[in-house]
């Protein structure tokens, strides 16, 4: 026991470089595809070339006899064991839930659906054998257009269900009819959220090996815990016999928040063959068969008084489910339902979502999941309303947003926002952006009639994230809970192991969780090791999605640390022969308040707790604890994003000239990580605004199935982002933090399109459908000229 040294510096708020980057960025990582076990067999899938067809026969006899082939299996071979892929979010009691066999048995419903698989000693043998499988298809009509799909007499995706309507989900608050009939101005628009293809750096990959009487699956997944449970429920293999490992995962963006056909089938193949099996998708295979995002048609009307005060909002949504319901497919648009009123006060709101089956790859969560769509619609129509009223779009927002002194505030959609300061974020953003100067330049360009016009786009977003608590998720019929688990163990040497149920796949949790732990325990940040992503090592967890990990998982770490300190206090009181109440804990050291008495460091306590030679009464050896934490409500980050674009009115080319993002994510644990999250999010949101679109032909083939056809933004397409923050701590979790993982994506798409439409407003353009390609922009100008 020594006298107290200086306390270590507070780590929360420091821009520490990410601990995990040393191995992630230098090729020393273990991706699933790098995992090699002796005797591993390669699996490849034969996939449907038809969007909709009956399978009338499969002849796999030639393929089965090819050299190196261990097995060729069809859906019929898996009958009785493959179950139905799970949907964990049946949003209504009467939702239509079709069977979803991992491998098609008698009918295919999208191009790319698996109809057979080959297991071979190597990939080349498997690929050769795939060519030798003959499948007879009897074509059925593809169902590709949502509006036609729900019209009377439409061809059906699931004939046995008698309808293509999956569900109808309404939300209403206040008297919408009165709000609209009493309003001075009504603006109505139709927005299209084009279908997007998630394109994480690492494609999906699965290895499954029988071991220790059970099975270990390595999968590039966001959700090892949920996957383990769902694999057990789908296949009947006991949960305790399944271990799931998510090794380093090269991004997911929601696309790996899934229980996929391939994961189920590889487990069944490992059982059947008694050998390790492996599958890695090709990029084109991934584009076709990793779930897609967005794909909604939004009919939106907003009603306001002449002074800009919003009276009411009406939203009618068609949401393309694709051919089947995957893990959270039906819930995605429902997450958006609550976000249309955004940061604005209004008298009435009504929302209806119709989920529609089509013969396309199912949609599901993609960064922001429902919230980018809602934010796009409200932020776009706010700009149209401002134009209608002849008002500056920021002024219109100011007249309607919730004041900083009005929190907690219950919105018309029924959410209670805990905190926020929209004025402060907007003031900061406009000043960094040079809003007035840019407006003046815009005016000059307009007056000169320049070919290249300047557009200014604003988006003042909020979003609900940090998905928790369980009670609210249960009310929304979401199948899983909203808690997260953490265990904190002080080792005898005074170093710390943190076990977390969060499952990072690029978000930097090892660093942020170390910072939280260092502050709570007063230990050096480099003394903390974070363990995650393996159901054997971290047996309890709810995984990573919905920007929940910091506010739920990070708070669980904080709570477990606090419990470790509580336990340490009992040891320290015993060691220092003082009363617990007289002890102060600061900078990793227990001192006796107001005395020169010797102190004890938490590391000394950890060693004493391990040795256990002299335990205090009723205290067990070792210094560790755990926590299953859930916050009292969602978290509501917000911010103001401003985008300036130059639009060449002769070619339709759009160049982003500057972009300012001022986000309020509450208390920031690591500003470097937060900036990185915002940058990545902006790239994805800008990708939707300008470049990306999954296109199907009239037969239902995905024509954008390579990166040459499906344009992803590159660094050269993006400006230098200016990022800054305001800090309004959350009151729903002990860290005061709000999520950031999806914020950039949610905010940026409308900021960019608002800027483009703003540039072209003098030409009569009122909208450009996304992605705003040069051709679309050029046509919008041409059409407006013709119309005008
Ligand atoms: N953070 C912080 N201070 C805050 C908020 C967050 O320091 N106030 C830090 C956190 O400690 C964490 C990171 O920022 O290291 C993101 O935290 P959070 O907002 O809690 O999001 P999650 O960790 O739950 O990550 C999920 C989120 C989602 S939903 C998508 S989609 C997404 C995203 O993260 N996918 C990603 N960011 C991604 N980043 C990478 N590299 N790859 C993906 O697939």
pLDDT value of position 5: 46
What tens digit of pLDDT does each residue of 457-504 get?
A: 999 999 999 988 999 999 999 999 999 999 999 999 999 999 999 999
Q: Strands across the sheet with 623-629, in order?
A: 528-531, 496-500, 484-490, 623-629
pLDDT value of position 567: 97
pLDDT value of position 4: 40
What tens digit of pLDDT does each residue of 287-300 get?
A: 999 999 999 999 99
Selected residue with higher pLDDT from 596 and 234: 234
In what helix (H) or strand (E) does residue 496 lie, and over which residues does it extend?
strand 496-500
Q: Is the pTM of this model over 0.95?
A: yes
What tens digit of pLDDT does each residue of 637-683 get?
A: 999 999 999 999 999 999 999 999 999 999 999 999 999 999 999 99
**Six token digits for residue 239:** 């949960």
Range 392-396 average pLDDT: 98
What tens digit of pLDDT does each residue of 513-556 get?
A: 999 999 999 999 999 999 999 999 999 999 999 999 999 999 99
What is the CB-side half-sphere exposure of residue 469 using CA atoms within 13 A? Answer: 11
Atom of ligand 1 nearest to the CA of 508: 15
Whose C-alpha lies nearest to ligand 1, atom 27? 741
Distance in Å, CA 741 to ligand 1 centroid: 4
Contact 295, 323 (CB under 8 A): no
Distance in Å, CA 739 to ligand 1 centroid: 7
Distance in Å, CA 176 to ligand 1 centroid: 37
Range 113-129 average pLDDT: 98
Tell which one of 550, 675, 681, 747 to mutate to probe ligand 1, the residue whose CB is within 8 A of the most ligand atoms.
550
User: 12 pLDDT exceeds 80?
Assistant: yes
**Of the candidates 626, 594, 621, the residue with the CA atom closest to the CA atom of residue 609:** 621
Rg (CA), the chain: 28
pLDDT value of position 467: 86
Distance in Å, CA 729 to ligand 1 centroid: 17
**Of the candidates 547, 756, 504, 760, the residue with the CA atom closest to the CA atom of residue 638:** 547
Residues 6+ apart with CB under 8 A from 610: 491, 492, 621, 622, 623
Contact 636, 417 (CB under 8 A): yes
pLDDT value of position 788: 62
Distance in Å, CA 676 to ligand 1 centroid: 9
Which DSSP symbol is given to 40? P
Bridge partner list, 114 = 47
Atom of ligand 1 nearest to the CA of 550: 20
Atom of ligand 1 nearest to the CA of 546: 29
Q: How far apart are CA 507 and CA 684, in angstroms?
A: 15
pLDDT value of position 29: 86
Whose C-alpha lies nearest to ligand 1, atom 43? 251
Longest CA–CA separation in the chain, Å: 90
Atom of ligand 1 nearest to the CA of 637: 8
The helix/strand/coil state of 100 is coil
Contact 266, 44 (CB under 8 A): no
Tell which one of 256, 463, 669, 740 to mutate to probe ligand 1, the residue whose CB is within 8 A of the most ligand atoms.
740
Q: How far apart are CA 362 and CA 326, in angstroms?
A: 7
Q: How far apart are CA 365 and CA 761, in angstroms?
A: 34
Query: What's phi and psi for 196, nearest 5 deg?
Result: -115, 155
Distance in Å, CA 500 to ligand 1 centroid: 15
Share of the chain above pLDDT 70, in %: 99
Tell me, letter by letter, the H, E, C secondary structure of 662-688. Answer: EEECECCCCHHHHHHHHHHHHHHHHHH
Range 30-48 average pLDDT: 96
Whose C-alpha lies nearest to ligand 1, atom 40? 506
Distance in Å, CA 266 to ligand 1 centroid: 29
Distance in Å, CA 421 to ligand 1 centroid: 22
pLDDT value of position 673: 98
Whose C-alpha lies nearest to ligand 1, atom 8? 668
Task: List, chain by chain if needed, residues with CB within 6 Å of any ligand 1 atom.
Answer: 200, 251-254, 367, 505-509, 512, 544-550, 554, 665-670, 673-674, 677, 680, 737-742
Among the residues of 691-773, which ranges form H helices? 743-760
**Of the candidates 32, 62, 34, the residue with the CA atom closest to the CA atom of residue 46:** 62
DSSP-derived secondary structure for 615-673: PPTT--SSEEEEEEE--SS-B--EEEEEEEEEEETTT--EEEEEEEEEEE-BS-S-HHH
Count CB-CB contacts under 10 A for residue 166.
30
Atom of ligand 1 nearest to the CA of 667: 8
Q: How far apart are CA 563 and CA 398, in angstroms?
A: 44
pLDDT value of position 598: 85
Atom of ligand 1 nearest to the CA of 222: 44
Domains of the chain: 21-28+483-629 (3.30.365.10), 32-140+199-289 (3.90.1170.50), 418-465+635-788 (3.30.365.10)
Q: How far apart are CA 11 and CA 19, in angstroms?
A: 14
Atom of ligand 1 nearest to the CA of 552: 20
Share of the chain above pLDDT 90, in %: 96
**Six token digits for residue 654:** 């759009």
pLDDT value of position 9: 84
What tens digit of pLDDT does each residue of 147-199 get?
A: 999 999 999 999 999 999 999 999 999 999 999 999 999 999 999 999 999 99
Average pLDDT, the chain: 96
Distance in Å, CA 486 to ligand 1 centroid: 17
Distance in Å, CA 548 to ligand 1 centroid: 8
pLDDT value of position 3: 44
Distance in Å, CA 549 to ligand 1 centroid: 7
What tens digit of pLDDT does each residue of 708-765 get?
A: 999 999 999 999 999 999 999 999 999 999 999 999 999 999 999 999 999 999 999 9
Atom of ligand 1 nearest to the CA of 367: 31
The helix/strand/coil state of 599 is strand
**CA–centroid distance for 546 within its chain:** 5
**Of the candidates 225, 249, 218, 269, the residue with the CA atom closest to the CA atom of residue 70:** 269
Distance in Å, CA 373 to ligand 1 centroid: 19
ipTM surpassing 0.95: yes
**Six token digits for residue 662:** 């001022």
């Amino acid at each position: 026991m020594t006298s107290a040294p200086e306390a270590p510096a507070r780590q929360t708020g420091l821009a520490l470089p990410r601990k995990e980057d040393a191995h992630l960025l230098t090729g020393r990582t273990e991706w699933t595809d790098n995992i090699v076990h002796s005797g591993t067999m390669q699996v490849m899938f034969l996939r449907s070339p038809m969007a909709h067809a009956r399978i009338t026969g499969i002849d796999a006899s030639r393929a089965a006899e090819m050299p190196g082939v261990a097995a060729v299996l069809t859906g019929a071979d898996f009958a009785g064991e493959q179950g139905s892929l799970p949907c964990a979010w049946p949003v209504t009691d009467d939702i239509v839930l079709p069977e979803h066999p991992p491998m098609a048995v008698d009918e295919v419903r999208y191009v790319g659906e698996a109809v057979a698989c080959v297991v071979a000693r190597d990939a080349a043998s498997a690929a050769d054998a795939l060519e030798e499988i003959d499948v007879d298809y009897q074509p059925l009509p593809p169902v590709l257009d949502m509006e036609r799909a729900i019209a009377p007499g439409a061809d059906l995706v699931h004939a046995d269900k008698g309808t293509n309507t999956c569900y109808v989900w309404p939300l209403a608050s206040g008297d919408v009819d009165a709000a609209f009939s009493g309003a001075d101005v009504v603006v109505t628009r139709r927005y299209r959220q084009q279908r997007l293809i998630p394109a994480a750096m690492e494609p999906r990959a699965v290895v499954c090996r029988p071991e220790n009487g059970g099975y270990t699956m390595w999968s590039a997944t966001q959700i090892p815990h949920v996957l383990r449970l769902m694999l057990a429920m789908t296949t009947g293999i006991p949960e305790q016999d399944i271990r799931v490992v998510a090794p380093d995962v090269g991004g997911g963006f929601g696309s790996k928040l899934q229980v996929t056909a391939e994961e189920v089938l590889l487990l069944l193949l490992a059982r059947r063959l008694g050998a390790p099996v492996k599958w890695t998708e090709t990029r084109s295979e991934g584009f076709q068969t990793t779930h897609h995002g967005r794909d909604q048609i939004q009919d939106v009307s907003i009603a306001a008084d002449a002074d800009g005060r919003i009276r009411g909002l009406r939203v009618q949504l068609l949401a393309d489910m694709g051919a089947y319901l995957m893990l959270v497919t039906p819930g995605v648009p429902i997450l958006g339902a609550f976000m249309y009123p955004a940061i604005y006060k209004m008298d009435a709101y009504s929302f209806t979502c119709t989920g529609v089956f089509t013969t396309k790859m199912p949609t599901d969560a993609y960064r922001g999941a429902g919230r980018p769509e809602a934010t796009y619609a409200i932020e776009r129509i706010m700009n149209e309303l401002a134009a209608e009223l002849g008002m500056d779009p920021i002024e219109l927002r100011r007249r309607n947003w919730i004041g900083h002194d009005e929190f907690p505030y219950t919105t018309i959609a029924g959410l209670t926002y805990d905190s926020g300061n929209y004025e402060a974020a907007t003031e900061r953003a406009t000043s960094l952006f040079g809003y007035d100067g840019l407006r003046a330049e815009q005016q000059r360009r307009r007056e000169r009639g320049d070919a290249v016009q300047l557009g200014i786009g604003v988006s003042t977003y909020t979003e609900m994230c940090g998905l928790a608590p369980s009670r609210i998720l249960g009310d929304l019929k979401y199948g899983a809970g909203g808690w997260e688990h953490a265990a904190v163990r002080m080792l005898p040497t005074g170093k710390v192991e943190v076990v977390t149920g969060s499952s990072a796949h690029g978000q930097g949790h090892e660093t942020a969780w170390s910072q939280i732990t260092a502050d709570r325990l007063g230990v050096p940040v480099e003394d903390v090791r974070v363990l995650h992503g393996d159901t054997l090592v971290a047996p309890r967890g709810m995984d990573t999605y919905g920007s929940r990990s910091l506010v739920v998982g990070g708070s669980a770490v904080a709570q477990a640390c606090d419990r470790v300190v509580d336990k340490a206090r009992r040891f320290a009181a015993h060691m220092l022969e003082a009363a617990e109440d007289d002890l102060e804990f600061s900078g990793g050291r227990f001192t006796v308040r107001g005395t020169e008495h010797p102190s004890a460091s938490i590391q000394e306590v950890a060693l004493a707790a391990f040795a256990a030679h002299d335990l205090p009464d009723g205290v067990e050896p070792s210094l560790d604890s755990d926590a299953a934490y859930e916050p009292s409500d969602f978290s509501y980050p917000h911010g103001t994003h401003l985008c300036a674009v130059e639009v060449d009115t002769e070619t339709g080319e759009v160049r982003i000239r500057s972009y300012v993002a001022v986000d309020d994510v509450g208390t920031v644990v690591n500003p470097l990580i937060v900036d990185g999250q915002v940058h990545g999010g902006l790239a994805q949101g800008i990708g939707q605004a300008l470049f990306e679109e999954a296109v199907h032909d009239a037969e239902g083939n995905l024509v954008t199935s390579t990166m040459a056809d499906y344009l992803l933004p590159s660094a050269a397409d993006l400006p230098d982002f200016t990022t800054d923050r305001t800090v309004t701590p959350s009151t729903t979790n002990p860290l005061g933090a709000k999520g950031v993982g999806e914020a950039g994506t949610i905010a940026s798409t409308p900021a960019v399109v608002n800027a483009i439409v703003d540039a072209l407003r003098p030409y009569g353009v009122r909208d450009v459908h996304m992605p705003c390609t040069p051709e679309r922009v050029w046509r919008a100008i041409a059409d407006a000229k013709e119309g005008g």
